[in-house]
Amino acid sequence: MWLVNSSIGRKVVMSISGAALVFFLLFHAAMNLVAIVSVEGYNMICEFLGANWYALVATAGLAFLVVVHILYAFYITMQNYRARGKERYAVSARQADVEWSSKNMLALGLIIVLGLGLHLFNFWYKMQFAEILHMAGVESVDIANATNGVYWIQETFSCPVYVVLYLVWLGALWFHLTHGVWSALHTLGLNNNTWMPRVKCISNIVSTLVVLMFAAVVVYYFVMSLI
């Protein structure tokens, strides 16, 4: 199959799935900012995106994109590793135009996956998943705060350890996105001399915007917990 056997096909799948995930991150980060402006407004959004059929369909679609992106990233990395063969042991000068993030995408990806697992445990598991279990008849599940997103934000980011872990995660996400957005746009055709500088600028702006919006909520609620 072309999308699996072809290197171009694999890159296209990575680019499209990655672009879709970036749009989700922009939406999620913007949604989180509401928690700073209005507690009631944010909780209304959480209730709207609870265990409703449309939210569950979107969650399943998002999970599919994440799995595809991770599997293809791992597969491409292994293919590149095998293709280099013994050359990976050779000592050679680093190319000046090859960024640190592009040479460490797998390590950054692993940090992001671990951070994603932590994030799912702190929020999705205690909110939407708790509602799903309750709907399935598990009455022992506490759903008193299943749609109270601000409660879980306060609970999580009042802990300095979680604050540090999330900021490290967001740092890794920034490096991953700066290269990933650029690579996706490059693969999808914006790779001529005119667009290359613009694509790099776009990738930096998008990555910084996403990370700053997420980090603002983390820092804001940590500071509020100290007051």
Is 203 contained in some domain? yes
pLDDT of residue 84: 63
Question: Residue 137: left (phi > 0), alpha (psi -120 to 50), or beta?
Answer: left
Is 172 contained in some domain? yes
Please answer whether residues 145 and 151 qualify as being in contact, where contact means their C-beta atoms are separated by less than 8 angstroms: yes
Which has more confidence, 49 or 1?
A: 49
Share of the chain above pLDDT 90, in %: 59
pLDDT of residue 99: 67
Which of 196-204's residues contact partners 24+ apart within 8 Å by CB, and which partners?
203/177, 203/178, 203/179, 204/178
CA separation, residue 24 to residues 133, 140, 145, 178 (Å): 25, 32, 24, 16
| Pairwise CA distance, residues 119 & 28, whole Å | 13
| CATH code, 111 | 1.20.1300.10
What does pLDDT average to over the chain? 86
pLDDT band at 30 (very low <50, low <70, confident <90, very high): very high
Which has more confidence, 67 or 193?
A: 67
The one-letter code for the residue type at 137 is: G
Is 61 contained in some domain? yes
pLDDT of residue 190: 67
Domain that holds residue 80: 2-84+104-226
Is 94 contained in some domain? no
Is the pLDDT at 143 greater than 80, yes or no? yes
pLDDT of residue 211: 97
| Pairwise CA distance, residues 215 & 213, whole Å | 6
Which has more confidence, 77 or 121?
A: 121
Q: What is the domain count for the chain?
A: 1
